[in-house]
A and B are shown apart, each in its own frame.
Chain A
Amino acid sequence: MSGTELMDDAATRQEGALVASPEASDAATREGVAPGSRALAAWEIASVASSVVVAEWGVLALSSQKIMLAVPIACVFALMFYSHLLRGETPRELGWRVDNFIHASRLLLVPMITGALLLGLVGWLWFGGSFSFGKRRAGWEVLGFPVWGLAWGLLQQYVLQAFINRRAQLVLGKGVKSIVLVAAVFALLHLPNPWLTGATFLGGLLWAAVYQRAPNLYALALSHSFMTWALISTLPADALHSLRVGYKFFG
């Protein structure tokens, strides 16, 4: 049975019911059903994004105790896990898998090399080529960049792709619109850092597009980690404001 047949079958099965998955959303859109489900998915995206905004702009402005960040972060993860549960999403569907790792990596390889070269060119032409290769970043001495970079990348890609991207597909369907939405949300959460906002928008486009073709969070996390390393290696820390975002950007 082909994918198209499966989708048509799905649309038939859930006729008159609310739709949960991105795959079903396309079918639902065609059938003209489930506007409530799309609205709910949009609300989920807004809710997660607003929690991050609250953490970046509100909590850090009102308290210097980073432990306070645990509240919005806990709210976000509680919501995401509950939503996965209610929508019946399995870890494999979310991208916690290895069988499509090679496929996802192939999709990422050329854009990543191009992006890294582009960053090198920008660093050379704009900032005089003061390449640091990331050694000035905090955390390097403690765990080493690859460790924390990979863990941080995995966490961000999980939230961005396994949740926001999938909900964006429910709202807008697969393709350019949902990819741009994911990238825009990702960039928005890196304001007001200008270089980081631009870089995350471009990175967000790439990762969202690849996830829609081959949902593999491990490959995306590796890519995220590598591109972050490329970014901080080629652009000076001053220009990147040490990757600070939100309220901390000013401090």
Chain B
Amino acid sequence: MRDYSPFTTGDSRSTSADDSRPVHGSPTPARLSRLSHALIAKSLAEALFIVALAVYFSYTNFNRYFRGSVDTADGRVVTGWVVNEASPGERVEVHLYVNGHFVNRGVADAPRPDVFEAGRSLDAYHGFVFNLPPLPPGGTYEARVYAMHATSDPGRRTLQEFSEAKQFSLTADGVNSSAPEAWRESEGRR
């Protein structure tokens, strides 16, 4: 077996005699102790750096001040409201997903006087209304609305859910079976 070491082979092609110097400054236990201290310090520094980076990431990429609700979700529309409490006058961009699929996006600027009256916003225009495309009847659906948060990094945007998902089902004839009876009756009369 070929010896990989240039120090013990005596290979004529091997490097100069200086290569064969087997010990270059054997460190004392004190030096190795300093090395282990350096390793500990490096580990701590990197751990602190990653923690700081994670906190910064969380702080800049997520907005903890979105408040809102998905009020209605049926076979035709999804409605609700959302306010950024850190900036109550701002119109929030919202994205609708149904069963995990992107459906549409818009701005929450529809009239919602009840939100204003409840003291949640500076004005009455924080509602959203999404018209749904025709959905296959006979299925159960889940609507989720996310507020879009633009970070300080122009390359990054995050979607944040501010309310519970709303579920609804459509009967075989396309009627929303989870809607109130009055709605179903009116749907049937059409």
Contact = CB atoms under 8 A, between A and B. Distances in A.
A99 interface: yes
Interface residues of A, number: 60
A3 B7 contact: yes
B9 A3 contact: yes
Interface stretch (A39-47, A119-127, A138-146, A242-250): A39-47
Given A75-B42, A82-B35, A59 B22 contact: no
B39 interface: yes
Contact of B23 (A13, A36, A106): A13
Interface stretch (B12-20, B76-84, B117-125, B162-170): B12-20
Nearest to A8: B22
B113 to A, nearest CB: 41
B7 A23 contact: yes
B22 A18 contact: no
B13 A209 contact: no
Interface string A1-17: 01110110110011001
B167 to A, nearest CB: 31
A1 B23 CA distance: 14
A235 interface: no
Contacts of A13: 23, 26
A100 B53 contact: no
Interface of A: 2-4, 6-7, 9-10, 13-14, 17-21, 23-24, 26-27, 36-37, 40, 43-44, 47, 50-51, 54, 58-59, 62-65, 68, 71-72, 75, 78-79, 82-83, 86-90, 92-93, 99-100, 103, 106, 174-175, 179, 209, 212-215
A179 to B, nearest CB: 7
Contacts of A3: 5-10, 20, 22
A163 B145 CA distance: 52
Contacts of B25: 20, 87-89
Contacts of B9: 3
A7 B53 contact: no
B26 A7 contact: no
The secondary structure that dominates the A interface is helix
27 contacts: A2-B8, A3-B7, A3-B20, A3-B22, A6-B21, A9-B22, A10-B26, A13-B23, A20-B23, A20-B25, A21-B26, A27-B22, A40-B39, A43-B39, A44-B39, A62-B50, A63-B56, A71-B45, A75-B46, A82-B38, A86-B32, A87-B24, A87-B31, A88-B24, A209-B4, A212-B4, A213-B14
Contacts of A6: 7, 20-22
Contacts of A83: 35, 38
B99 interface: no
Interface in B44-66: 45-46, 49-50, 53-54, 56-57
Given A64-B153, A212-B4, A23 B35 contact: no
Nearest to B154: A64
A24 B53 CA distance: 41
Most buried by A among B3, B7, B27: B27
